[in-house]
Structure 1
């Protein structure tokens, strides 16, 4: 049997400096250089590894979900920092409002959620508690 000491998820980015700034300054997460990439520490203490990839292709699915106590305020904060939260614009796309929020709890269709992308195009979300 393999003896595993730890495990952590990872994803690629096109530019490490851009990712460091976004995850550290915009999202306020602890970020440090590690193994040629970045160790991003989530509020739970779990580490996530972001590594540079020359031919990076953005993930077409949500790679990180951030639980927030006030979804509307969190969206306003991201928008004020220049982050676009309305990434799904077609009328049938998840039923988002003008700020990109899907108020699923109001319709019984899941959680209140808003999607956005990091500078590398990877999809992230904010989910209201």
Structure 2
């Protein structure tokens, strides 16, 4: 019924230019305008192997109340340290036992942070 080889995820931001700066410059991801949709502000975060996430501007954006992007890392602590160096702070949740750096250690080991618009992202170290 579905062509899952062409499925993709998306999330909204209120400001495409600021989103591009955060995801490309701060996080170091491959972010490009969607060809033919530059004026509309659509962005694509390239995840490699033909996978991407669509980021679209929404003037009345409200941040998601869940994690919109999980970035798998080999070393969560090193990733959190690098995020902190780049000015990104981890989020705290009462439901999780997080260490001083905001890392919930376990299976998986994870730390959450927000983009400039309040959308929640994470670095996640799989077991």
Q: TM class by shorter-chain length? A: 0.7 to 0.9
Tell me the equivalent position of 2:59.
Answer: 54
Tell me the equivalent position of 2:92.
Answer: 88
Deviates more, 1:67-76 or 1:4-13: 4-13
Q: Following TM superposition, where does structure 1 have runs of at least 4 consecutive aligned residues deviating by more than 4 angstroms?
A: 1-5
For the 8 Å contact 1:29–1:43, the answer to whether it is kept is no
Cα 1:117–1:126, aligned 2, differ >3 Å: closer, same or farther? same
Give the paired residue count.
Answer: 121
Cα 1:43–1:99, aligned 2, differ >3 Å: closer, same or farther? farther
SS at 2:104's partner residue?
strand
Tell me the equivalent position of 1:113.
Answer: 110
1:20 CA drift (Å): 0.3
What RMSD over aligned residues (CA atoms) do the two structures have, in Å?
2.0
5+ residue gaps, structure 1 = 105-109
Cα 1:29–1:128, aligned 2, differ >3 Å: closer, same or farther? same
Q: Please, what TM-score do these two structures have when normalized by structure 2?
A: 0.86
